[in-house]
Amino acid sequence: MELQQLRYVLAVAEERNFTRAAAKTHVVQSALSHQIKALERELGVRLFARTSRRVELTSAGRAFVTGARATLDAAERSVAEAVAATGQMRGSLTVGAIPTVTRLDLVSVLGEFHRSHPQVSIGMSVGGSLDFIDRIRAGTLDVAVLGLPEDVEPAGVASTVLAREKLVAVLGPHHRFAGRRRLRLADLADEPFVDFPSDSPGRSQSDRAFAEAGLTRTVAFESMLVDMMLDLVAQGLGIALLAPAVVPDGRGLVTVPVTGGPRRVEYLAWSEFNPSPAASAFVESALASVDPEPATVDAEPATVGSSTGSR
């Protein structure tokens, strides 16, 4: 049994397709199929039930995949730790980030990490907090910046709080509330909203705030892209509730504090079980780049023509 055979099995299990698995592992399909059949003969069990159109793991295959993934992880860590002992670090680092990272200058931290460890390959993706938590637990993501409601903590991962933030109302320059110094949730209940998708933590913190206040609201536009959300607000198509630091100057938008408005907590999260040397080094660098005490960010009174509290 060879480690490469384990990689082929995991690729087929993830893709549920031999052609895609072969492309993923950079090998011709006939070679991948031959190696998996050879492994099945050696084990004396079928790992996959397959037809010309469908591929699924057998019960033996599901058990094998769990061990294969653990074996590959252990092998990669052994190599990384052996290299790290020589003063050099190799391997890979995968980082996830929500669209509204505010406390951590992630690009600068990634740049500094790359300069310190040039032989570590770095991958990054933008997405949702709950998906990132699942991926860290599954071992397919090393580190992530999360944003969660105040009463939700990341479960099954190691984490530290980066910031606690009060969201502000983001309005177009000609909105009827643009001149207000402070708003209440009740003031906003009849406004059309621009928000994150309904199944995301970025949306739930605002939904919860309205529900707890006994209010309902209408979300007219959903997007995971903050720039698109801000463009829709600038066009007068709705308002948004966002962390003030994600609203840039120079776009004519107005931010107004909201009494009783939603709050969120920004976390840095990583595996609580045997993180890789690269992940541990990145977490150390990231935490060294921020103030030791988490900040609670609020906003000053609104100013038309520029974002308030956006720095």
Whole-angstrom distance, CA of residue 50 vs CA of residue 285: 46
Whole-angstrom distance, CA of residue 167 vs CA of residue 183: 12
Q: Which fold has domain 3-84?
A: Arc Repressor Mutant, subunit A (1.10.10)
Residue 217 has pLDDT above 90, yes or no: yes
Is the full-model pTM beyond 0.85?
Answer: no
Please compute, for residue 29, the number of CA atoms within 13 A of its CA located in the half-sphere on the CB side. Answer: 6
Where do the structural domains in the chain lie, given as residue ranges? 3-84, 91-311
* Sequence-ordered alpha helix ranges (H) in 139-218: 185-188, 201-212
Q: Which of 45-59, 90-104, 287-301 has the highest mean pLDDT?
A: 90-104
Whole-angstrom distance, CA of residue 183 vs CA of residue 238: 16
Strand order in the sheet with 254-259: 183-184, 254-259, 168-171, 240-242
pLDDT given for residue 178 in this prediction: 93
Residue 29 has pLDDT above 60, yes or no: yes
Q: With residue 169 as reference, give the H or E element that holds it.
A: strand 168-171
pLDDT given for residue 292 in this prediction: 56
CB contact at 8 A, 205 and 229: no
Please provide residue 175's backbone torsions phi and psi, each rounded to the nearest 5 degrees: -65, 150
pLDDT given for residue 175 in this prediction: 95
Whether 3-84 and 91-311 share one fold: the answer is no
Q: What is the mean pLDDT of the chain?
A: 87
**Which of 165, 27, 50 is CA-nearest to residue 98?**
165
Q: What single-letter DSSP state applies at residue 247?
A: S
Whole-angstrom distance, CA of residue 61 vs CA of residue 56: 9
pLDDT band at residue 307 under the 50/70/90 scheme: very low
Multiple choice CATH, 91-311, 3.40.190.290, 3.40.50.720, 2.40.50.70, 3.30.470.20:
3.40.190.290
**Which of 11, 6, 2 is CA-nearest to residue 55?**
11
